[in-house]
Amino acid sequence: MAYLAFIGRRLWQLLPVLFGITLVVFFMIHLIPGDPASTLLGNRSTPQAVAALRTQFGLDQPLYQQYLDFLGRVVRGDLGSSFVYKSPVRGLVEGRISATLWLLGAGALFSLLLSVPLAVLAASRKGAARDQAVRVVPLIGLGMPTVWVGLMLQLFFALRLGLFPVSGFGTSFTEHAQSIVLPALTVAVALAPILVRSLRTSLLDVLDSDYVLTARAKGISRGRLLVRHALRNAAVSSVTVLGVNIAYLVGATVIVERVFALPGLGTLMLESIYSRDFPVVQGVVIVIAVLVVIVNLATDLAHASLDPRVGVEA
Amino acid sequence: MRRVIATVVTAALSVTLAGCGGGTTSAKNTAGVPAKGGDLVIVKALDSKSMDNTTTFDNDSIWVFEQMMEPLYTVTEDGKGVKPWLATSFTLSPDKLHYTFTLRKGVTFHNGQPMTSADVKFSIDQATKTKGGWEFINTAIKSVAAPTPDTVVVTTKYPWAPLVADLSNFNNGIVPKDYAGMTSKQFYEHPVGTGPFKWDHWTKGSELKLVKNPNYWQSGKPSLDSVTWKPVPDDNTRTLQLQGGQAQINEFPPISSLGQLKNSSTVQATLFDSTKTDYLLFNHTAKPFNDVHARRAISLAIDREAIIKSVLFGNGKPANSFMPPQVPYYDAATPGLKYDLTAAKAELAKSTTPQGFTATYLAAAGDVQDAAIAQILQGAVKPLGITIKIENVDPATARARQDKQDYQITHSSWTMDIADPDELVSFAVDPTTGAKAFYTGYSNKDVIDATHAAQKAFDPAVRQAKYTFIQKQAAEDAFMAFLYYSPYQWAYSKKVQGFKPYPTGNYHLEDVTLSK
């Protein structure tokens, strides 16, 4: 019950956040130099053609009027129509959100699959060779440029071994699953080092605490100790680290999307900024803002469920 | 999945074998016998934007919808003329104002409807009525009539030599009357035309697929069962797709990678003639670019061969005219300014700024060619006492500033849409068309008069004389610095035959076959 109230409160708080975001994004994108009509027309642009298109796009109205029209549409769920694609923004976003969610989800999963065992391995014997290795080797992953990691994975697993497609997202569920492996691995290679270090530190802290000492004195095995007791408690702070990074990733997946030709929101946002496709920029930012808030919410809920001392009253 | 592995292993083995065997790749040509059918996959950097042929400006959309919607006449393979397509012939009235087209018999739309003159009239009228699209191509058209089901009469407002070339542009592609009962918006979500391929589906950002039109008016064509275009933004990824056999054609691979492909036994690269021409624009409303001597000095100081070597890896030719060689009435004898530092210094001495000056080059951030040209220019004009500062802005900002003539020097390019010089010439040297002479502000009365005269002359000798004069004067006035002509580079599997982009950039997929 407290959980539901918590979720409700947080979603309610989303509204002023969204309002502020629409205000900032709308004015920023409209006030920077560059014009959607002349960008569309390219070297076929003449003042008459530009004026005709601007009228079609409603850009000849005063700015505050355009903002009010936009806000009025948004509350009705209408995100407007793309200047470039000449089709509803909602449709464009709906078509792209799937790839982004797959990438975020699979990326988070692979990051966990990589980092948890490594962190447990490192913490199991502090200072030993395996600990040193786990502390240093993932740093290489952190330092490697995403483009290069993606390319290497494509060359080896896709081209040479033929296990996964080189790029693309496919159309069916199985194709999505096959196509997301390499991109998610690319994300994990960059994210895992951060998680490993954070989780390892938390594990070591927990292993030093009194109740662990008690458990050891009672004769519990190392394995059970690590996994059933220490990990659960250490996970708490790492969940926050993971949540923050996933939230950041929501907009930052552009590079991975580009290398693997994934039709995601990041690419759509970048392209629409370049072409000054105002409705799409506005629409995508709103969706990304909602996603980020949801990820933060999920992080808090996970945090609360892992640590009974943390309530959901706040 | 097994087929993928098999293809990949075969490709990998052939590449390895080719490498080991000393690279006698021509002997190992895997082309084989052209077979019927096959599904072609083309990868390109950007997705298409819209299938509306009257309002869409990007090639990624145009080259796709041209497979579905066809015009009355079309550009010839060498780009220099037009040939009958959905019309078989035309006659011109003695007063040169009425063109009577005879339509081809037996042409049907993808929905089974036969094509008639009513459809043609509707299509051309819609193209003319557009706002903020390609309507400028149709400005000379006064009216279109459909006196009989297989004749169409196009009447112009004044004698207009480029008319048939204008009608060959894709905006005048033939669609069913009244959009077959749909609204324009609904229609263009799955267009219906007469072309060799018809609509299948478009998952935006992922793939756009067209399938064979079994009732295409050219019997025996197309051979392919389907064509799918997939947007793959990263250059390396596209190359891997082609190498791995997941795609058969790669649009515009980076020029730097073409050399590697020479050693492949499965993939080849071809440089096709194009109408692409690159220029440096001078803003004549900004001092000292209003001074012809200053402009000539800069143009003479540029070593075009050096730019071509650095930017295009040698795959280009210095431009002597603002018109490219693949356009009718191009004059190869046009005295374009060539690299001559002594002459450059002499020109600057005659100018209002003999000691040199400082100018700013407006560059589009992220454009590798632009950056290279800017740097080469900086070095080239230093001996003249001219200092070039480079200002990098994002492409949309650069575009907006160019339109407003808020720049001093910048870089631009052109490609032809039609097989007539008029589209480019009006745009580039006639400020009355609204583009302020390619955004330069150039205004030479003799050149403008010659442009108008050439539009109304039907005698090829007369037109040639006018265009020769225009090109020569434009070169001498150095209203822009003409840089280079470059080809269109494509990489594709050796299994692909008959793939030939025309100088206007578009390609006829009904001629392509895929061997096994």
Cα–Cα distance, A40 to B504 (Å, whole number): 20
Q: What residues of chain A, 61 to 120, have a C-beta less than 8 Å from chain B?
A: 84-87, 92, 95-96, 99
B173 has pLDDT over 80: yes
Give bridge partners of residue B279 from the DSSP assignment.
B412, B482
A314 has pLDDT over 70: no
- The answer to whether the Cβ–Cβ distance between B399 and A154 falls below 8 Å is no
- What is the per-residue pLDDT across A261-292, written as a single tens digit (0 to 9) for each? 999 998 999 999 999 999 999 999 989 888 88
For residue B43, what are its two tokens?
């990868």
Minimal CA separation from B401 to chain A, in Å: 8
- The answer to whether the Cβ–Cβ distance between A87 and B189 falls below 8 Å is yes
Cα–Cα distance, B72 to B501 (Å, whole number): 20
- How far is residue B288 CA from its own chain's centroid? 33
Predicted local distance difference test score (pLDDT) of residue A239: 81
As a residue count, chain B comes to 516
A41 has pLDDT over 80: yes
Predicted local distance difference test score (pLDDT) of residue B408: 97
As a residue count, chain A comes to 314
Cβ neighbours of A47 in B, within 8 Å: 403, 434
For residue B53, what are its two tokens?
């042929």
Instruction: Please give the average per-residue pLDDT across B356-366, as a whole number.
Output: 95
A82: closest chain B residue by CA = B49
- The answer to whether the Cβ–Cβ distance between B132 and A56 falls below 8 Å is yes
Predicted local distance difference test score (pLDDT) of residue A313: 60
DSSP annotation string for B25-73: TTTT----SEES--EEEEEESS------TTT---HHHHHHHTTT---SE
Instruction: Please give the average per-residue pLDDT across A50-58, as a whole number.
Output: 93
Cα–Cα distance, B161 to B177 (Å, whole number): 28
- What is the per-residue pLDDT across B80-122, written as a single tens digit (0 to 9) for each? 999 999 999 999 999 999 999 999 999 999 999 999 999 999 9
Find tokens 């007539």 and name the residue: B420
B136: closest chain A residue by CA = A49
For residue B106, what are its two tokens?
């037996």
Instruction: Please give the average per-residue pLDDT across B207-222, as a whole number.
Output: 96
Average pLDDT taken over every residue of chain B: 92
Distant-in-sequence, close-in-space partners of B160: CB < 8 Å, separation ≥ 6? B140, B166, B455, B456
- Give percent above pLDDT 90 in chain A: 40
Minimal CA separation from A189 to chain B, in Å: 19
- Give the pLDDT band (50/70/90) at residue B33: low
Predicted local distance difference test score (pLDDT) of residue B174: 98
Closest residue to B57, CB basis, from A35, A41, A159: A41
Cα–Cα distance, B115 to B119 (Å, whole number): 6
Closest residue to A258, CB basis, from B132, B230, B233: B233
Cβ neighbours of A57 in B, within 8 Å: none
Instruction: Please give the average per-residue pLDDT across B494-504, as a whole number.
Output: 95
Closest residue to B434, CB basis, from A46, A258, A263: A46
Cα–Cα distance, B78 to B55 (Å, whole number): 26
B50: closest chain A residue by CA = A85
B433 has pLDDT over 80: yes
- The answer to whether the Cβ–Cβ distance between B244 and A166 falls below 8 Å is yes
Predicted local distance difference test score (pLDDT) of residue A251: 66
A223 has pLDDT over 80: no
Cβ neighbours of B393 in A, within 8 Å: 33
Task: Tell me whether residue B3 is exposed, middle or buried, using C-beta atoms within 10 angstroms of its C-beta: 0 to 12, 13 to 18, 19 or more.
Answer: exposed
- Give the pLDDT band (50/70/90) at residue B1: low
B5 has pLDDT over 60: no
Closest residue to B396, CB basis, from A48, A53, A276: A276
Distant-in-sequence, close-in-space partners of B326: CB < 8 Å, separation ≥ 6? B78, B79, B80, B273, B274, B275, B416, B503
Number of CB atoms found within 10 A of residue A91's CB: 14
Cβ neighbours of B424 in A, within 8 Å: none
Cα–Cα distance, B240 to A154 (Å, whole number): 8
A39: closest chain B residue by CA = B396
- The answer to whether the Cβ–Cβ distance between B434 and A274 falls below 8 Å is no
Q: Which helix (H) or strand (E) holds B452?
A: helix B445-456
B394 has pLDDT over 60: yes
Residue bearing the bigger pLDDT, A214 or B182: B182
- Give percent above pLDDT 70 in chain B: 93
* A268 CB within 8 Å of a chain B CB: yes
Cβ neighbours of A158 in B, within 8 Å: 240, 244
Cβ neighbours of A168 in B, within 8 Å: 206-207, 230, 232
Residue of B412, B400, B427, B81 whose CA lies nearest to B277:
B412
- What is the per-residue pLDDT across A104-128, written as a single tens digit (0 to 9) for each? 999 989 998 988 888 888 888 888 8
Find tokens 């706002």 and name the residue: B131
Cα–Cα distance, B288 to B284 (Å, whole number): 8
- The answer to whether the Cβ–Cβ distance between A259 and B234 falls below 8 Å is yes
Minimal CA separation from B342 to chain A, in Å: 34
Contact A304, A297 (CB under 8 A): no
* A172 CB within 8 Å of a chain B CB: no
- Give percent above pLDDT 90 in chain B: 87
- Give the pLDDT band (50/70/90) at residue A15: confident
Predicted local distance difference test score (pLDDT) of residue A102: 94
Minimal CA separation from A268 to chain B, in Å: 9
Instruction: Please give the average per-residue pLDDT across B60-78, as a whole number.
Output: 97
Residue of B139, B131, B141 whose CA lies nearest to B52:
B131
Cβ neighbours of B5 in A, within 8 Å: 162
Question: Which of A166, A254, A258, A277 to mutate: most B Cβ within 10 Å?
Answer: A166
For residue B149, what are its two tokens?
């089901």
- The answer to whether the Cβ–Cβ distance between B230 and A275 falls below 8 Å is no
Rg, C-alpha atoms of chain A: 24
Roughly how many angstroms between the first and final C-alpha of chain A, as a whole number? 14
Find tokens 């159309």 and name the residue: A171
Pairing state between β B39-44 and B226-231: parallel
- The answer to whether the Cβ–Cβ distance between A159 and B394 falls below 8 Å is no
Cβ neighbours of B407 in A, within 8 Å: none
Contact B257, B264 (CB under 8 A): no
Predicted local distance difference test score (pLDDT) of residue B9: 43
Closest residue to A34, CB basis, from B189, B400, B433: B400
* A46 CB within 8 Å of a chain B CB: yes
- Give the pLDDT band (50/70/90) at residue B26: very low
Cβ neighbours of B413 in A, within 8 Å: 43
Secondary structure of residue B204 in the 3-state scheme? coil
Contact B239, B492 (CB under 8 A): no
Give bridge partners of residue B198 from the DSSP assignment.
B211
Cβ neighbours of B240 in A, within 8 Å: 154-155, 158-159, 166-167
Predicted local distance difference test score (pLDDT) of residue A75: 87
Residue bearing the bigger pLDDT, A191 or B302: B302
Average pLDDT taken over every residue of chain A: 87
Cβ neighbours of A96 in B, within 8 Å: 204-205
* A13 CB within 8 Å of a chain B CB: no
- What is the per-residue pLDDT across B310-350, written as a single tens digit (0 to 9) for each? 999 999 999 999 999 999 999 999 999 999 999 999 999 99
B10 has pLDDT over 70: no
> Helix-strand-coil percent breakdown of chain A, rounded to 5?
80, 0, 20
Interior angle at CA B489, CA A150 and CA B272, nearest 5: 165
Cα–Cα distance, A232 to A228 (Å, whole number): 6
- The answer to whether the Cβ–Cβ distance between B403 and A45 falls below 8 Å is yes
Cα–Cα distance, B349 to B384 (Å, whole number): 9
Interior angle at CA B64, CA B60 and CA B65, nearest 5: 120
Distances (CA, A) of B286 to B5, B346, B447: 61, 22, 21
Closest residue to A261, CB basis, from B188, B232, B427: B232
Predicted local distance difference test score (pLDDT) of residue B42: 98
Cβ neighbours of B394 in A, within 8 Å: 34, 274
B16 has pLDDT over 60: no
Instruction: Please give the average per-residue pLDDT across B223-234, as a whole number.
Output: 96
B353 has pLDDT over 50: yes
A52: closest chain B residue by CA = B132
B414: closest chain A residue by CA = A43
A13 has pLDDT over 70: yes
Residue type, A306: L
Highest mean pLDDT among A12-26, A133-147, B14-28, B342-356: B342-356
ipTM of the predicted assembly exceeds 0.85: yes
* A174 CB within 8 Å of a chain B CB: no
Instruction: Please give the average per-residue pLDDT across B37-59, as a whole number.
Output: 95
Minimal CA separation from B240 to chain A, in Å: 7
* A269 CB within 8 Å of a chain B CB: no
DSSP 8-state code for residue B395? H
Instruction: Give me the total of CB pairs closer than 8 Å, taking one residue from chain A and one from chain B.
Output: 144
Find tokens 């920077």 and name the residue: A32
Closest residue to B397, CB basis, from A33, A169, A258: A33
Predicted local distance difference test score (pLDDT) of residue B6: 44
Residue bearing the bigger pLDDT, B157 or A7: B157
